[in-house]
Chain A
Amino acid sequence: MTSEGSRLLSTTDMARKTKTEGPKLKPRKYYEPEFLILALTLLLTLFGLVMVFSASYYYAISKTGNPYTFLINDMMWKLLGWVVFAFLTHFDYHRIAKYSFIVLAVGFVLLGLIFTPLGKTINNATRWLDFKIFTVMPGEVIKTCLILFLAYFYAKDPSRIKRWKDGHFVVLAIGGAAFLLILAQPNLSTAGLVLLLVLGMMLLAGLAWGWIIAMGALGVGAFTIVVLSPKGAYMMERIQTFFDPFKDALGSGYQVVQSLLALGSGGLLGVGLGQSIQKTLYLPEPQSDFILAIIGEELGYVGLIVLMCVYMLLIWRCIKTAIKAPDIYGTLLAGGVALHLGLQVVLNIAVVSASFFPTGVVLPFVSLGGNATILYLAEMGVVFNISRQIRPPEEEGV
């Protein structure tokens, strides 16, 4: 029943592909893309704009006098992000492979620049590069770089996941270097996230279960030893204190306390869009890492559950794209993006709900994320391109 439509689409795609076809590449055939990825990403960015404005306008008035300061900033980056998205949907993902080393190199150069005068220090941590017109967070950039590189690395020779010499050693060296460079900023949370991302990519590439179980066992074992050790009780107490923001509600716990107060004020149905009071200079920088607290306050628990479902649906569509991707490179790219998205969302909610130690993790597409927004949308552009190359079942065997 869809054969006629599919054929029509295929014909036009074929016509266009013939024109742009490069000498090194086999002709690509585009099929019906995963429109839900486009729709959900668009929905999230638009929702993000609304929430950034709602969360930031009061703070913006106080800081700059102009309520639209952050809205305009966010709109600019999101528009740029969508331009990149649009470009990448039409850019055959296979062509990215040859830039893998350059991308990785750029990522590491940026990480290295942190230690030059370009590095911008805020609160004793140098996490930003100041290019005068805009700032860059190398810790954000390296994540995308690693996804692109590792997907290429394992797709080039999937058997590398079984070897140490040209496999684990290389990956752990690269991942370890990134981890240490970010740790030196210092930025423990991003470093940890990078580590998780690298391990996740290895998992997707087919790391033996034995290793996975061993790592899990190692983690549990270390924790058990610490807890059972003579100082275990004390350690537990320290950990609890660390996770109880109310112990130092006006000091280190301030932001998380304010986040919880926002969530609590929201309750089941929220106080209504735009009606948050916690954003009136109580919760610091409400438009960025803690925007979820303001969403919770304004739209309630129900709003957050809907938002989480949207994220899960989007992640699922990325996973589905990864499963159905034409080749292992596409699988690892789409899987890496899904993993990245999942890690960001989970960690962000964990911090906001005081389930994890307070750290700066951006909520993709929604938070005011500066140029990191471009990276997230770029990743989605790649996934969308992969989804366009998935042959529908009825065309299989053609």
Chain B
Amino acid sequence: MKAIATTHKNRTRLIFVFLVICACMLALAVRLGYQMLIRGDEYAQRATRQQTRDSVVLATRGSILDRNGSELAISATTNTIWVRPDSVKGNGKNDEEIQLNIYTEANTLANLLHMDYEEVRSIITSDRKLLKVAKNVDKEDAEKIRAAKLAGIEIVEDAKRYYPLGIFASHVIGTTTDDNVGLLGLENYYNRYLAGINGREISSKDSRSNAITYGTSKFYGAQDGYTLVTTIDENIQYIVERHIAECKETTKGKRVMCLVMEPKTASVLAMAQTDEYDPNDPRSPVGTEEDKAAFEEMTDAEKVNYWNTIWRNFCITDTYEPGSTFKLITTSIALDKGVTYPEETFYCNSAITVAGQKLKCWYYPRSHGQETLVTAVENSCNPVMVQLAQRLGLTRYYEGLDSFALTERTGIDYPGESFNILQNKSTAGPVGLATMAYGQGIAVTPISLVTAISSIANEGKLMKPHFIKELRDSEGNLVDEYQPVIRNISMSAQTAADMLKIMEDVVGEGGGGTAKIAGYRIGGKTGTAQKPEGGGYSKTDVYGSFIGIAPIDDPKFAILVVVDSPRGVLYGSQTAAPCAREIMKEIFTYMGIEPNYTEEELEAIGKSKVEVPDLTGRSAENAIGVLGGKYLGYTFAPAIEDYKNLIVTDQYPKPGTEVTKGTKVTIYYETEPGEDEDSGEDVED
């Protein structure tokens, strides 16, 4: 090929082409500038939105411990397995390979998760972007799945609330929602301390949401929740729960509750009621098989109602009629205000007329006759209580209730505490005052009554009841320690000492004998009150209760047992007091409190025989209580179901006879003339 010279035309064209390219490049430089600088921020924001994932770093919910550090509620880590079905196909080049990948993955997952192959397969071949394969997978299985390196599988750690003791103290601890938010009980009340503060992680992720080591990364660590150390004693709680369940069984009551408090600090040592729900599964029905079957039949609204019923903490959110146990309050006020003294002599005339209305003693138509204040309390004599209240007058009586802080809520660290229902001071009038004096026509929360009575065991210092002992951080360092709070002075130390003596006498000599334990000095008072029903009072349902303090010389605990609607047996001395005795016995052993027998007791223990006490003229319940104190049993002749209104006329063996312990004393009786039961009269011992 011969060389032909380049023409001027060719050169012109080259320059032209170059200029065209230059023009294009210039235009593109402008275009890039528009996209990168003018629209750049908009694109960058869009990019950031797709590139960053804002994820929550879960704070671990703090544990709830008993006073000795036993775990009542803990947070367990579980794993949730997620799948991105798009990724399951893997790098399969053709349909055959893809099918193989799906088969292998479904098979592996089904084996590791103990699931059905077909079920897993349908999940991992779903057309959704991301879905859950399994939850609550334990660490071991999750590790195996992680090790299997399956395509498109993500393992997310979740926290689950777990109550290691199962159905235990659930009305105290409460439970959480599925999202780990406190729903009931202490879980709810202390939620903001237990919950901790969730952290956040904002970081760049690739399009498959894997973390990349550069780009944006902001980590705000989670602050784990505090550990709540409660005043509950696992052992005492256990003793209480076991005995109230037994008591519910033997008395055939609707429910039984018990509260044990340390009087010097008003720390709640145990609080239980039947039936406790399962905090791990709070929505499952409680009680008998029939109850559970009935639950299945309920509508959704009825179920919600049902749950609200079984979740209620009777001791704090419900009130009940205290009956004769309230006489301790009246007596305390009267003693403290100086309107009487323990040795003062009163006269019971079987009834007392107040503002033209005849208020009968439970002993009516008999009378207690002449009695001291101490024996009046032992006898649970209504007219004496009325006299005390009358001497005090409305204003001073209410001052007394104020000093026991019964007119307001205790302020316990628990959600939903109820107010006590007292007679309105301005409308109570003389009759209202009089009936209130022996515990009628009012309703109190168990916690407020136990707190009030505990002040007797604490030289009159009324403490604020509480469940919290300490808060600790996740490393176990002490964050805050509860300091006992004195709310009020309910009475002088002298009055408190007098009251303790009176309470001890009630158990030792009076109708509280069924709570008596040889070798221990126990003070207490039983009570039986008809349940309000449709504006009047129920003929069949009562609250039988016992409130006690032990040991009298150095009070370690106050206890209240309430039996709701027992059947067959009726009185507090038959239902609540024996239950309280069994609980107290075990608490003494647990606390290492040694028995200290009196000579009389030693003699009684030494001898297998006891002297039969004189029962004539006593009420049935009183008689049963007295027999209990002497380790004697009883039978009624003729046998009777409802011995509410009967009086002992005779007995066998006769008083003074030496019999073997455990002998049943046959009680002969006569029925009381019909009482006006709707009046809500005390049916006490």
Residues of A within 8 A of B (CB): 58, 62, 94, 97-98, 152, 155-156, 158, 200, 203-206, 260-268, 274-275, 277-278, 280-282, 296, 300-301, 304-305, 308, 311-312, 315-316, 319, 322-323, 325-332, 335, 338-339, 342, 345-346, 349-350, 353-355
The docked-state distance in angstroms from the alpha carbon of A353 to that of B10 is 33
B18 CB–A CB distance under 8 Å: yes
Q: Please list 9 pairs of residues, one from A and one from B, whose beta carbons are closer than 8 Å in the complex, sorted by A's number.
A: A58-B212, A264-B42, A265-B43, A312-B25, A327-B6, A329-B3, A335-B10, A349-B32, A350-B28
Q: Tell me if B25 and A346 are in contact (CB < 8 A).
A: yes
- Residues in A whose Cβ lies below 8 Å from that of B47: 261-262, 264-265, 277-278, 282
Q: Tell me if B16 and A264 are in contact (CB < 8 A).
A: no
Q: Tell me if B14 and A264 are in contact (CB < 8 A).
A: no
Q: Tell me if B17 and A203 are in contact (CB < 8 A).
A: yes
A-contact 0/1 string along B34-71, CB 8 Å cutoff: 01110111111011101100000000000000000000
Q: Tell me if B7 and A266 are in contact (CB < 8 A).
A: no
- Residues in A whose Cβ lies below 8 Å from that of B48: 265
Indicate which residue in B14, B24, B215 contacts A323 across the interface (CB closer than 8 Å): B14
Q: Tell me if A282 and B17 are in contact (CB < 8 A).
A: no
Minimum distance in angstroms from B420 CB to a CB of chain A: 65
Query: If A158-B7, A349-B28, A353-B35 touch, does A264 touch B46 (CB 8 Å cutoff)?
Result: yes
Number of A-B contacts (CB under 8 A): 177
B298 CB–A CB distance under 8 Å: no
- Residues in B whose Cβ lies below 8 Å from that of A308: 25, 28-29
- B51 to chain A: closest residue by CB: A277
Q: Tell me if B36 and A296 are in contact (CB < 8 A).
A: yes
Query: If A264-B43, A282-B206, A301-B37 touch, does A277 touch B28 (CB 8 Å cutoff)?
Result: no
Query: If A203-B17, A282-B51 touch, does A261 touch B22 (CB 8 Å cutoff)?
Result: no
- Residues in A whose Cβ lies below 8 Å from that of B204: 277, 280
Minimum distance in angstroms from B364 CB to a CB of chain A: 90
A-contact 0/1 string along B196-231, CB 8 Å cutoff: 000000001111100010110000000000000000
Q: Tell me if A204 and B50 are in contact (CB < 8 A).
A: no
Query: If A206-B7, A335-B17 touch, does A261 touch B46 (CB 8 Å cutoff)?
Result: yes
The docked-state distance in angstroms from the alpha carbon of A97 to that of B40 is 49
The docked-state distance in angstroms from the alpha carbon of A266 to that of B39 is 11
- B23 to chain A: closest residue by CB: A346
Indicate which residue in B3, B22, B35, B207 contacts A264 across the interface (CB closer than 8 Å): B35
- A283 to chain B: closest residue by CB: B207
Indicate which residue in B6, B22, B39, B207 contacts A331 across the interface (CB closer than 8 Å): B6
Minimum distance in angstroms from A155 CB to a CB of chain B: 6
Q: Tell me if A280 and B32 are in contact (CB < 8 A).
A: no
B411 CB–A CB distance under 8 Å: no
Q: Tell me if B4 and A204 are in contact (CB < 8 A).
A: no
Q: Tell me if A200 and B1 are in contact (CB < 8 A).
A: no
B13 CB–A CB distance under 8 Å: yes
Q: Tell me if B31 and A353 are in contact (CB < 8 A).
A: yes
Q: Tell me if B10 and A204 are in contact (CB < 8 A).
A: yes
Q: Tell me if B214 and A275 are in contact (CB < 8 A).
A: yes
Indicate which residue in A62, A267, A319 contacts B15 across the interface (CB closer than 8 Å): A319
Q: Tell me if B17 and A281 are in contact (CB < 8 A).
A: no
The docked-state distance in angstroms from the alpha carbon of A265 to that of B52 is 13
Indicate which residue in B36, B207, B215 contacts A300 across the interface (CB closer than 8 Å): B36
Q: Tell me if B36 and A315 are in contact (CB < 8 A).
A: no
B607 CB–A CB distance under 8 Å: no
Q: Tell me if A203 and B50 are in contact (CB < 8 A).
A: no
Nearest first, the 4 closest Cβ-Cβ pairs linking A and B are A264-B43, A280-B206, A342-B21, A261-B47
A-contact 0/1 string along B593-605, CB 8 Å cutoff: 0000000000000
Q: Tell me if A268 and B214 are in contact (CB < 8 A).
A: no
Q: Tell me if A263 and B18 are in contact (CB < 8 A).
A: no
Minimum distance in angstroms from B387 CB to a CB of chain A: 88
Query: If A261-B46, A265-B44 touch, does A200 touch B207 (CB 8 Å cutoff)?
Result: no
Q: Tell me if A264 and B215 are in contact (CB < 8 A).
A: no
The docked-state distance in angstroms from the alpha carbon of A355 to that of B15 is 25
The docked-state distance in angstroms from the alpha carbon of A329 to that of B7 is 11
16 new A-B contacts at CB < 8 Å, known A282-B207, A349-B32? A97-B1, A204-B14, A261-B43, A264-B46, A280-B207, A282-B50, A304-B36, A308-B29, A326-B3, A328-B4, A335-B14, A338-B17, A338-B21, A346-B24, A350-B31, A355-B28
Minimum distance in angstroms from B15 CB to a CB of chain A: 7
- Residues in B whose Cβ lies below 8 Å from that of A281: 206-208
Residues of B within 8 A of A (CB): 1, 3-7, 9-11, 13-18, 21-22, 24-25, 28-29, 31-33, 35-37, 39-44, 46-48, 50-51, 204-208, 212, 214-215
- Residues in B whose Cβ lies below 8 Å from that of A264: 35-36, 39-44, 46-47
Q: Tell me if A301 and B15 are in contact (CB < 8 A).
A: no
Q: Tell me if B36 and A203 are in contact (CB < 8 A).
A: no
Q: Tell me if A268 and B37 are in contact (CB < 8 A).
A: yes
Indicate which residue in B21, B33, B37, B215 contacts A315 across the interface (CB closer than 8 Å): B21
- B46 to chain A: closest residue by CB: A261
- Residues in A whose Cβ lies below 8 Å from that of B212: 58, 277, 280
Minimum distance in angstroms from A387 CB to a CB of chain B: 14
Minimum distance in angstroms from A248 CB to a CB of chain B: 15
The docked-state distance in angstroms from the alpha carbon of A287 to that of B1 is 42
- Residues in B whose Cβ lies below 8 Å from that of A330: 6
Q: Tell me if A312 and B5 are in contact (CB < 8 A).
A: no
- Residues in A whose Cβ lies below 8 Å from that of B22: 312
The docked-state distance in angstroms from the alpha carbon of A345 to that of B46 is 27
The docked-state distance in angstroms from the alpha carbon of A342 to that of B5 is 25
- B33 to chain A: closest residue by CB: A301
- A157 to chain B: closest residue by CB: B4
Minimum distance in angstroms from A216 CB to a CB of chain B: 11
The docked-state distance in angstroms from the alpha carbon of A277 to that of B43 is 13
Query: If A301-B32, A335-B17 touch, does A328 touch B206 (CB 8 Å cutoff)?
Result: no
- A334 to chain B: closest residue by CB: B14
- Residues in B whose Cβ lies below 8 Å from that of A316: 18
- B40 to chain A: closest residue by CB: A264
Q: Tell me if B1 and A355 are in contact (CB < 8 A).
A: no
Query: If A264-B42, A342-B17 touch, does A327 touch B4 (CB 8 Å cutoff)?
Result: yes
Q: Tell me if B32 and A263 are in contact (CB < 8 A).
A: yes
Q: Tell me if A94 and B37 are in contact (CB < 8 A).
A: no
Minimum distance in angstroms from A280 CB to a CB of chain B: 4
The docked-state distance in angstroms from the alpha carbon of A152 to that of B43 is 48
- Residues in A whose Cβ lies below 8 Å from that of B36: 263-264, 266-268, 296, 300-301, 304
- Residues in A whose Cβ lies below 8 Å from that of B10: 204-206, 322, 328, 331-332, 335
The docked-state distance in angstroms from the alpha carbon of A11 to that of B5 is 25
The docked-state distance in angstroms from the alpha carbon of A260 to that of B37 is 11
- Residues in B whose Cβ lies below 8 Å from that of A158: 4, 7
The docked-state distance in angstroms from the alpha carbon of A324 to that of B16 is 16
Indicate which residue in B9, B32, B51, B214 contacts A304 across the interface (CB closer than 8 Å): B32
- A335 to chain B: closest residue by CB: B14
Minimum distance in angstroms from A173 CB to a CB of chain B: 22
Q: Tell me if A345 and B15 are in contact (CB < 8 A).
A: no
Q: Tell me if A58 and B206 are in contact (CB < 8 A).
A: yes
Minimum distance in angstroms from B93 CB to a CB of chain A: 12
Minimum distance in angstroms from A292 CB to a CB of chain B: 9
Minimum distance in angstroms from B29 CB to a CB of chain A: 6
- B205 to chain A: closest residue by CB: A280
The docked-state distance in angstroms from the alpha carbon of A230 to that of B408 is 87
- B212 to chain A: closest residue by CB: A280
The docked-state distance in angstroms from the alpha carbon of A342 to that of B215 is 35
Indicate which residue in B17, B25, B33, B214 contacts A339 across the interface (CB closer than 8 Å): B17
Q: Tell me if B32 and A353 are in contact (CB < 8 A).
A: yes
The docked-state distance in angstroms from the alpha carbon of A329 to that of B205 is 54
- A304 to chain B: closest residue by CB: B32
The docked-state distance in angstroms from the alpha carbon of A148 to that of B40 is 42
Q: Tell me if B28 and A353 are in contact (CB < 8 A).
A: yes
- Residues in A whose Cβ lies below 8 Å from that of B32: 263, 296, 301, 304-305, 349, 353
**Central interface residue in B24, B36, B205, by most chain A CB within 10 Å:** B36
The docked-state distance in angstroms from the alpha carbon of A331 to that of B522 is 121
The docked-state distance in angstroms from the alpha carbon of A346 to that of B44 is 24
Indicate which residue in B16, B24, B37, B51 contacts A267 across the interface (CB closer than 8 Å): B37
